Amino acid sequence: MISGMVLSDAESLMGSLELDERYARRILYWVYRRGIKSFDEINDIPVRVLQVLSGHVVTGLRSPIVSEVSSDGSVKYLFSDGGGLTHETVWLPDGKRRTVCVSVQAGCRMGCHFCATGRNGWGGNLTAGEIVNQVVSIQDPVTHIVLMGMGEPGDNIEAVIKACRIFTAEWGLAAGRRRVTVSTVGVTPAVKRLLEETECNITLSLHSPFPEERREVIPAEARWPFTETLNLLKEYNNRNKRRFSVAYVMIGGKNDTDRHLTELKRLLSDTDIRVNLLPYHPADVNDDRCSDGETMMRFKHELVTSGIGASVRKSRGADIAAACGMLAARRNDRQEVQKKNM
């Protein structure tokens, strides 16, 4: 399939089919910029070339199988790989900003306790083409791309890096490196590769500034301490002004105390690393609740007055199963009920 190919892949395909390699860029344009599902939709490449291509490959693009629209304008889409595995995509309009949040896996193996995705089982890695398809096939205007849906990018790093190349390259989506962000729990070897092989922004999902607390909620902390990722970001020669951030999901009474705030300020002072304070979406598995608005604003104020960039993200899509994995879980539950009733 074409979706997921970089320019050299497309050129190699043309060569193997004894076609002019110069058509590779046009093919990628029609797939990535125009979102075609069939080569018949192309009108500026010779029919003979398209006939040869049609006999050997497909575009690889798939439309979502389900979508839900929130009262706030955000949209959640559900995609299938054709074999039964599902993954989610969320489109978030906010003023002139149009962000699409894409998945990199069907499920997740990280086991973070506050995340709905991991509790729904493990399906497998998505290909670069399936990651890119989520941006191309939703038909909504997109200004920013965030890889922080279902799955951990560091656990599927080959496909993630390839997708990032397609997102940013002029022969791909040409989104621009400053408009693509990869969010990770901090898989250290993968973070190194993201720094070396891409120009995308990087966000570390932190949860707690205390390793022992973080380990209880994010098991990956035991293998890849968050301090390793923070040190990589702090030491990186950021001449191209990539944005490095910390995502901090705030849970009332758990990680929103003065003690946590003081340690956050200590860790991030004198750095250009920003803090995104995120509301917690309860997943009905415990009694945890989001920190109140006053506490979140106080955190932001204290961080900003300490010289640390910070923002409070609005809760979006609460009426359409906001947490990643919940739409897929509901669909799987319905299918299981249907099977039992057959």
Residue 108 is a catalytic residue: no
Catalytic residue among 101, 108, 115, 324: 324
Helices (H) and strands (E) in the chain, counts: 11, 12
Let me know the angle formed at the C-alpha of 68 by 78 and 249, rounded to the nearest 5 degrees: 80
Residue 88 is a catalytic residue: yes
Q: Are strands 201-205 and 124-125 parallel, antiparallel or unpaired?
A: unpaired
Alpha helix locations (H) across the chain? 7-16, 23-28, 47-54, 128-136, 157-168, 188-197, 211-217, 226-235, 258-268, 293-305, 326-341
Euclidean distance between CA atoms 21 and 256, whole angstroms: 56
Euclidean distance between CA atoms 153 and 125, whole angstroms: 10
Contacts of residue 48, defined as CB under 8 A and 6 or more positions apart, other chains included, come to: none
DSSP-derived secondary structure for 197-249: H---EEEEE-S-SSHHHHHHH-GGGGTS-HHHHHHHHHHS--TT---EEEEEE
Q: What is the CA radius of gyration of the chain?
A: 21
Catalytic residue among 11, 88, 152, 221: 88
**Positions marked catalytic:** 88, 324
